[in-house]
Structure 1
Amino acid sequence: MNISAQGRSIVLGFVRVALIAILFLAFFQLLAEFVETVYAFGLMGTGIPPEIVCVALLLSPILLLIPRRGLPHPALVSLTALVLVARVAEGLLDTRGRMILSGLGLALFLILLPEILRTSFIAATGPEWGSGLALSVLLSILLRALGSGSDITLLPPFQWAGWLLAALGILCLAVVKRGSPLQPATAATGTPRLGFGRTLLMALGSMGVLVLLYFAFTSPAVIARWTEGSYPAVVAVLALAMACYVAVRLLWPSYVVRLGRGWLFVLNLLFVAALVATIAVHQIPFPKEPGGFPRGAPPAGLVGDLLLYLTLVLAPTLMIDAERFAVGLMQRPSSPRSGGLAWLIASLYLLVMIFLQVFTTVYDYFPVVGPLFRDRFWLVYLIAGAACALPALALPSALAPEAQSGTWRLFGRLTAAKSLAVAVLAVLAVGFIGADPAASAAEGNSLRVMTYNIQQGYDANGQRNYAGQLQVIREMNPDLLGLEESDTARIAGGNADVVRTMADALDMYSYYGPTTVTGTFGIALLSRYPIENPRTVFMYSLGEQTAAILADITVSGQPFSVVVTHLGNGGPIIQQEQLLAAITGQTRLVAMGDFNFRPDTEQYRLTTAALEDSWLTRWGLGGNPSQIDPADRIDHIFVSPGTTILDSRYITGPASDHPAMVTEIGW
């Protein structure tokens, strides 16, 4: 092979891996956006939104049952380009437009993926598929690291980065269209087609991999929020594990290709067991009777940490699975209709898994089925993991090793270097972009406290509004900030970490409160001063689980006890009784949050028998500088009796569906 031919082969291999990475990245982004926007309509009410019917778009592979010979080459090119365009264009629209366009982009991808594998349209080699998928995970980790836990390409003014990636993907598509596979893995002449049963297993296995990557591994903030683990450490271990997989797969392939079916199944079992155990040790066994509350969250300790990092180290197992399933589907392609039916079932599995994940938080809104998943967050991941592990038993015993030509080795070194570079950039981004609270703290003789229900980062009109909410907070310039409905590090919130995004932007310390495995809607405490002895206590809940943050801070030598909470609908009196029991004996107390009870309720009277309403202390019954009816107040800041209140007011506006409340304490 002459130099120009070698160079052409390396470039084509490089481009195919890049195209696979960008295409799968677009899939993960579209899926995150679609589920988030459907859920956003649920935020506007208290029931199941009618927009939920749009999830039928996930069943688009049913269209593959129509053409007898599958889709022609020009259609595959067009679908690939349309998926990439849909990904970036949806970010320019309002919530309804985002939902529709991201849903359409997903529908096109789910039609495209079976045909790409059946026809080997982009690549026909396992290493390119496995490396491309791993690179897509690394790119997602990097983009979320740059956005402090949120995908930076979805946040103004950085949406141009998404357009740049889409343009690069379309450029790669143009190159691939003219090129040929580096090492085709086509079936020998006369090899029979893959039967429907095996095709279905391969499709379900492939979808199982994508589900787990979407649920957690493309967004390390999700994993950190399960465990209260170190976000920088989770990013570093996961990113380096993925980069190491690419290096081993391409530079020392025998370690992967000779992995037999039995050993691969064992590796899957170890990974799934570590994953489920990581969640289970943080799952709190809530009593069914109110007598067991208030209840703290027991520490997982060293065992929890070991399980977490074992899960991260074993995460590349998913890449091995994905490669084996892809090779199985490419070497013995099924008939177009048989493949279409298999992928329709796999897409139905994706839809079911999304619902099961959502049930772990909003079980109260889905009678009969929803409550089965209350306090069973681990069960969803066990089901998802089984979809990867069990189909692995139907795989060939091992792969044939690739011919290690000089061109292939050079391609491997360059691809491994590219993956390592993305991993290192992600680790560096977390370190450089993180909050610097020490630079913002200043001693004084007052403390400004703010509570704000941010409605998962959405405004009163149902539009994502991180920037608008940050502007409200910056204008109030609080020293302590309690956030409610802040738990977005789950699929219903697009796997975005709004708490980290805000804490980094405001240079504040942060404590997240309840982990996502407990099924709450989230509370968080941000502070310009170090947060001491933070802990979470839970109250008895018939509906969605509720909790409170308890912590201490010291300002100019003055100690304060701080509470942040969000009670259930109607502010159940038993929850407030249990909260008051948990803070009995605290002095210099500041208790803030969305209490969901008004001043004319028994809950309010019970609370003000022990604490003072800071707004009422400042203004009494006659003053009202805020544009809010005092009788409608459900967001409160209560303080210990005798606390000096310099100011207290509500800030109304469209940035959220709740007003922000600010109280300034003096001494």
Structure 2
Amino acid sequence: MPPKFKEGDIVFSFSGSWISYTHTAFAYIAFLGALVVGTWLHYYKIVENEHYGYPEEWFPSVSATIGDRYPERSVFMVGIALTSGPRFALVALYYFLTARPNSSLPKIVFWVGVFRTLTCGGWTYVTSTDDHDWHDIFMISYLVATLPWTLGCLALSPPNPKAIKYRKILAALFFGTLVPLIYFFIQHKVHKVAGAYTIYAFFEWSLILFDVAFDAVTMYDFSSFEIVVRDVKGLSRGNAKLLKDEIKEKERNQAVIQSSTFDGPYNWWDLSIALADVYNGFVFWTVLTSLGLCVWYFPLWHMGISGYEVAVMSTVSPLLLGIPAFRSLAIKYNRWFHLSAVIPGLLAWQVTNQANRLFAISFAVWQGCLAWTATWYAERGNTGRLQARILAWTIGLVLSSIAKFACYSNNPLWPIMRAENGGWNWTGLLLAIPAVWHSTRPVITSGGDQISNSGQKGSSLMAGVGVGGLLFAMHSLLSDSSTIISWTWSGYPINGPQQVPYGALTILAMGAGLLFGISTPDLLASWTAYGIGAVGAMFLTYYKDWAGYYGGLVFTVYVCGVAPVLIKSAVRHNPAVTFGFGFFIYNLMVLFHVWVVAYAFVPGGPLVRERSDWVMICTVLQIGNGVFSALTTNAQSREKTTKSPRGRKQSAYYLHILFALQLLSMSIAYLRFPSNDYRPYHPEEKSFTAGIWTIHFSLDNDMWSSERRMAQAIRELEVDVIGLLESDTQRIIMGNRDTMQYLAEDLGMYVDYGPGPNQHTWGSALLSKFPILNSTHHLLPSPVGELAPAIEATLDVYGTPVDVFVFHSGQEEDPEDRRQQSEYLARIMSATPRPAILLSYLVVKPGEGNYHTYSGPGSGMHDIDMSDWDRWCEYILYKDIKRTGYARVSRGTITDTEIQLGKFVVGQPADYSDTRISEEQVPPGLRFPALFKGEGVRGHRYHVFDEPRYFA
């Protein structure tokens, strides 16, 4: 409320710059004061971490300095308390400086600043010792809010050259420091490099200095403010100096720089429509990506073509839009087409019969492809809304990838999910129905920015080929944040990205590409951009580790950026040709990229055997066809789209959602960062349990995702090292999943992936409670049949290096393959001077044929139990290590293969005799869990021998 009396005596006044000075001083006193006190009183304690202490580590991190030790913790808390007042004042003054009528950005930045200040108090006064979860929540929230605060302040910065210069420099230093910060943290946490934490600490302290200095730049802006305490009733005997009118006038005329997308009031109704649109796009990608999974179940169990594969053709429904009457129907009743896709697609999990579940998903895909094609085609005359619809669909893919990133590479709304294995099916459906209803509302258009149908349009067939290549690239590489990382993984020591946390970087590249695509369509439609994208695809295909991943990021940016260009071109043609034919091309590519690995089971497979490079070349050439057509087709519409303020305003809300999703993915990456502090089950005996299991691509007998049930069985069996076969699910037909993410994080184990999805195997993986010192991935000779993957890894088992081999041999139909593979594996096993264990799938009978190559003088390996005559596929062999037990556990309903286990002890001489002892003679720490005796639990029990076997 304004004062009752306009004039009055000035009690006190000071320059607004003192708010900045005070804030900066108290903030630096809080941090640097704690550093000085901590170094003086507890130096050796605060430089020590979980791996090293002084002298390897000699400078403390921020968290160690301001942690729980007294008195440095108190120094920090008092300093932050003193900082809070100037901090709130700084946020408020910046709002007063930049606010103007009908502008939303200053309000947004103001509330971000308030939120950021409150969360700073949260992680300061709630330490990890007090409540670890809330401490992390406050810390993550603070870090996430730093990005919009920094960018908002840059966007609003008044036209003060010095302030703008320093803000840009400090923001660049802040964000640039994040890269080496993360790198050295991983070197410390994952690779346990001595001294890495000290270097990390310097970058961490630099972040603090840059963060505070960025806010200190306001001293140049606040010099235009004079803060006055006025006695309007004359009760004080203060200073008689009055506030000068010219200062008020200067404040009123202060210019600010605004982003055009924030001009005018923020329309929450439009934002709700954008949210509904994006969620509708998310549901489309959820249903589409689930189709392959449901199809895959049937050839998986038939071990060949089942007939159900024809369901992949359910995407070609846009061909019906070539019929004018049907096209009009699809446009007029578009809402009902969307609902008829969403409801059966998200309710399919309720169908228990696997074939009927596939039929429900196929119908949902059929309707979804029709609905979205009709949506785009209906908006072809309104550039703003068409761009918004394309953004919704593409951001839906980003959201799908983030949902999988948060849920360990499973989409929680898939029909293979339910509450028992992490599904959110009912929640997803209850959100989807109102979202579809809201996003498909009838809209009256003036047609003011419609594009004439006259002029050249390019080739509709080439546009359709481009759409097909675009869809395949997006689905095969970008529907999961870990796919391109899996393509480039080469084993230990780690020389490239890991699925966590770098999945967030893949998602960031998707968002950046989409932003470039709508802001610079001319650039993305150019042959220069196409060439850069093609080079990125080449690096992804032919290189490993960081070089391959960087190529994958470049291709990711290009694919997401060119998506609006190609779709805008396609809607100018007959949708039956561009989208119906385009989806048909996409289907051919789906089959192609499965054929290259499934060549042993499909007609004509040997013609494309192991040619993932051909798949990538075809994808890039197809997108090139679309670009060629778009250069002609979009020539008329491009200028109208970029100059339309209505189009920019409509797109703005979608970009705000995209920005929020990027912050969400970063938060997920932080929360999922691996701890790498794993412990074996029985360290007191220096024993460990090793196992082998063929996991059937993480689909159980009833078509449910089986990761959680697998994790439960492995945990209860107390398995320390396990080889998993048939584990590569990074293809469209398998859902582009990564089963190992959940198993490794839930069980607390290191993970190594065998040759990646672009190496044409069915996959092998190794999970270990012990650090993996080194690993090599092998592709064993296979002149006729499918490739045989193998992992050769050296583990640090209680200080003793132990080699573990995980191996899947070729099929029974290819005896020459299996002979050559047995000789190859025998050579690498015999070459190791260390204790060794083979966890394998050999396709051989005990005592016959290649069995003697694997187990015998040539390899130096010994069978864990030569008296076990009932085996055919799974075997455990060992050498130079003491074996104490062996067990076989029934498969239950998780897979079609049992679990085999062996117990070993390091530090004792190996004994290859088959002298067995009773369980009563075995120390409790060396026994197998009693839970699986008798009837066992959940279908898992000791079988064949009906109990474990123990050896002297």
TM-score (norm 2): 0.60
Q: Match for residue 560 of structure 1?
A: 802
Give the partner amino acid of 2:895. S
Q: Secondary structure at the match of 2:325?
A: coil
Q: Counterparts of 2:667 and 2:786 in 1: how far apart (Å)?
A: 38
1:423: Cα distance to partner? 1.6
Q: Counterparts of 1:354 and 1:116 in 2: how far apart (Å)?
A: 25
Per-residue CA deviations over 1:53-93 (Å, capped at 9, x if unaligned) read 33342332343344536233453111111212233112333
1:529 maps to which of 770, 777, 780: 770
1:469 maps to which of 710, 718, 721: 710
Q: Counterparts of 2:702 and 2:646 in 1: how far apart (Å)?
A: 56
Q: Does 1:89 align with 2:347?
A: yes
- Cα distance change on mapping 1:135 and 1:150 into 2, 3 Å: same
2:788 maps to which of 538, 546, 554: 546
Answer whether contact 1:649 1:663 (CA < 8 A) is retained. no
Q: Secondary structure at the match of 2:333?
A: helix
Q: Match for residue 75 of structure 1?
A: 333
Give the partner amino acid of 1:432. L
Q: Match for residue 366 of structure 1?
A: 602
1:323: Cα distance to partner? 1.6
Q: Match for residue 212 of structure 1?
A: 473
1:226: Cα distance to partner? 0.5
- Cα distance change on mapping 1:67 and 1:615 into 2, 3 Å: farther
Per-residue CA deviations over 1:446-486 (Å, capped at 9, x if unaligned) read 11011110011123455542233222212212010110000
1:29: Cα distance to partner? 2.4
1:662 maps to which of 898, 901, 906: 901
1:28: Cα distance to partner? 2.6
Q: Counterparts of 2:268 and 2:647 in 1: how far apart (Å)?
A: 11
Answer whether contact 2:280 2:436 (CA < 8 A) is retained. no
Q: Counterparts of 2:446 and 2:432 in 1: how far apart (Å)?
A: 21
Q: Does 1:480 align with 2:744?
A: no
Q: Counterparts of 1:400 and 1:238 in 2: how far apart (Å)?
A: 31
1:274: Cα distance to partner? 1.2
Answer whether contact 2:691 2:899 (CA < 8 A) is retained. yes
Answer whether contact 2:777 2:789 (CA < 8 A) is retained. yes
Per-residue CA deviations over 1:127-151 (Å, capped at 9, x if unaligned) read 4144324422321221111112222
Give the partner amino acid of 2:853. L
1:116: Cα distance to partner? 1.6
1:232 maps to which of 490, 493, 500: 500
Any gaps of 5 or more consecutive residues in structure 1? 282-299, 622-629
Q: Match for residue 390 of structure 1?
A: 625
1:104 maps to which of 352, 355, 363: 363
1:561: Cα distance to partner? 1.1
- Cα distance change on mapping 1:78 and 1:438 into 2, 3 Å: same
Name which of structure 1's ranges 427-436 and 537-546 shifts more when overlaid on structure 2.
427-436
Q: Match for residue 29 of structure 1?
A: 286
Alignment of 1:462-611 (within 5 A): 463-541=704-782, 542-570=784-812, 572-586=818-832, 587-609=834-856, 610-611=860-861
Q: Counterparts of 1:576 and 1:538 in 2: how far apart (Å)?
A: 12
Q: Counterparts of 1:181 and 1:132 in 2: how far apart (Å)?
A: 20
- Cα distance change on mapping 1:209 and 1:123 into 2, 3 Å: farther
1:357: Cα distance to partner? 0.7
1:19: Cα distance to partner? 4.2
Q: Match for residue 591 of structure 2?
A: 355
1:240: Cα distance to partner? 1.9
Q: Counterparts of 2:269 and 2:464 in 1: how far apart (Å)?
A: 27
- Cα distance change on mapping 1:441 and 1:435 into 2, 3 Å: farther
Q: Does 1:51 align with 2:315?
A: no
- Cα distance change on mapping 1:160 and 1:543 into 2, 3 Å: closer
Alignment of 1:269-308 (within 5 A): 269-281=531-543, 300=544, 305-308=546-549
Q: Match for residue 63 of structure 1?
A: 320
1:655: Cα distance to partner? 1.6
Name which of structure 1's ranges 228-237 and 504-513 shifts more when overlaid on structure 2.
228-237
Q: Match for residue 38 of structure 1?
A: 295
Any gaps of 5 or more consecutive residues in structure 2? 1-100, 105-262, 490-496, 909-952
1:187 maps to which of 450, 454, 468: 450
Give the partner amino acid of 2:594. V
Answer whether contact 1:226 1:517 (CA < 8 A) is retained. yes
Percentage of matched positions with identical amino acids: 19
Q: Counterparts of 1:194 and 1:109 in 2: how far apart (Å)?
A: 30
Name which of structure 1's ranges 225-234 and 304-313 shifts more when overlaid on structure 2.
304-313
- Cα distance change on mapping 1:160 and 1:42 into 2, 3 Å: closer
Q: Secondary structure at the match of 1:238?
A: helix
Q: Counterparts of 1:120 and 1:536 in 2: how far apart (Å)?
A: 51
Q: Counterparts of 2:660 and 2:831 in 1: how far apart (Å)?
A: 53
Q: Match for residue 259 of structure 1?
A: 523
Q: Counterparts of 2:422 and 2:328 in 1: how far apart (Å)?
A: 32
Name which of structure 1's ranges 230-239 and 534-543 shifts more when overlaid on structure 2.
230-239
Per-residue CA deviations over 1:253-278 (Å, capped at 9, x if unaligned) read 3xx144385xx222122112311331
Q: Match for residue 131 of structure 2?
A: none
Q: Counterparts of 1:575 and 1:339 in 2: how far apart (Å)?
A: 51
Q: Secondary structure at the match of 2:677?
A: helix
Q: Counterparts of 2:715 and 2:829 in 1: how far apart (Å)?
A: 30
Per-residue CA deviations over 1:228-248 (Å, capped at 9, x if unaligned) read 142235423222233334555
Give the partner amino acid of 2:862. E
Q: Counterparts of 1:604 and 1:613 in 2: how far apart (Å)?
A: 10
RMSD: 3.2
- Cα distance change on mapping 1:74 and 1:127 into 2, 3 Å: closer
Q: Match for residue 13 of structure 2?
A: none
Give the partner amino acid of 1:608. S
Q: Match for residue 345 of structure 1?
A: 581
Q: Secondary structure at the match of 2:876?
A: strand
Q: Counterparts of 1:16 and 1:3 in 2: how far apart (Å)?
A: 21
Q: Counterparts of 1:642 and 1:150 in 2: how far apart (Å)?
A: 39
Answer whether contact 1:275 1:308 (CA < 8 A) is retained. no
1:361: Cα distance to partner? 0.9
Q: Counterparts of 1:193 and 1:127 in 2: how far apart (Å)?
A: 21
Give the partner amino acid of 1:490. R
Per-residue CA deviations over 1:491-519 (Å, capped at 9, x if unaligned) read 22110101222112211100001111110
Per-residue CA deviations over 1:296-317 (Å, capped at 9, x if unaligned) read xxxx4xxx52342243145233
Corresponding residue pairs, total: 620
1:3: Cα distance to partner? 11
Name which of structure 1's ranges 266-275 and 154-163 shifts more when overlaid on structure 2.
154-163
Q: Counterparts of 1:499 and 1:34 in 2: how far apart (Å)?
A: 22
- Cα distance change on mapping 1:74 and 1:148 into 2, 3 Å: same
1:578: Cα distance to partner? 0.8
Q: Counterparts of 1:165 and 1:312 in 2: how far apart (Å)?
A: 30
Q: Match for residue 188 of structure 2?
A: none
Q: Does 1:172 align with 2:435?
A: yes
Q: Counterparts of 2:388 and 2:643 in 1: how far apart (Å)?
A: 14
Answer whether contact 1:614 1:638 (CA < 8 A) is retained. yes
Q: Counterparts of 1:533 and 1:182 in 2: how far apart (Å)?
A: 63
Q: Does 1:380 align with 2:615?
A: yes
Q: Counterparts of 1:580 and 1:183 in 2: how far apart (Å)?
A: 75
Give the partner amino acid of 2:358. M
Q: Counterparts of 1:123 and 1:506 in 2: how far apart (Å)?
A: 52
Q: Secondary structure at the match of 1:486?
A: coil
Answer whether contact 1:479 1:528 (CA < 8 A) is retained. yes
Q: Counterparts of 1:177 and 1:114 in 2: how far apart (Å)?
A: 13
Q: Counterparts of 2:504 and 2:287 in 1: how far apart (Å)?
A: 25
Q: Counterparts of 1:166 and 1:503 in 2: how far apart (Å)?
A: 30
